[in-house]
């Protein structure tokens, strides 16, 4: 039997922080996504579009709160 590692809010936050987005330690997935979107609009976040695509490709292991936050705030990133 294979056990899949679920991507939770902490994983999502860590991945965004690794891209240079400053996010409080206790931020929920929605706050993480909003902050990433704001930074992307203001200064750009190299690698954010690729991260979003990677995570959405793994939607079967995303917790619903993370999936919803990505869809609501990061599905259409600025160029």
Q: What would the pLDDT profile of 29-39 be if each residue is shown by its tens digit?
A: 999 999 999 99
Q: Please count the structural domains in the chain.
A: 1
In a domain? residue 14: yes
Which pLDDT band, with edges at 50, 70 and 90, does 5 fall under? confident
Which pLDDT band, with edges at 50, 70 and 90, does 3 fall under? low
Average pLDDT over residues 61-68: 96
Q: In a 10 Å sphere around its CB, with 0-12 CB exposed, 13-18 middle and 19+ buried, how is residue 46 labelled?
A: exposed
CB of 26 closer than 8 Å to CB of 1? no
In a domain? residue 24: yes
Residue range(s) defining the domain that contains residue 37: 9-73
In a domain? residue 1: no
pTM over 0.85: yes
């Amino acid at each position: 039997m294979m056990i899949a590692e679920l991507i939770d809010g902490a994983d999502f936050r860590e991945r965004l922080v690794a891209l240079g987005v400053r996010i409080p330690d206790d931020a929920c997935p929605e706050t993480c996504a909003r902050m990433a979107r704001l930074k992307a609009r203001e200064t750009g976040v190299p690698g954010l579009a690729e991260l979003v695509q990677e995570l959405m490709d793994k939607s079967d292991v995303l917790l619903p709160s993370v999936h919803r936050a990505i869809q609501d705030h990061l599905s259409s990133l600025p160029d």
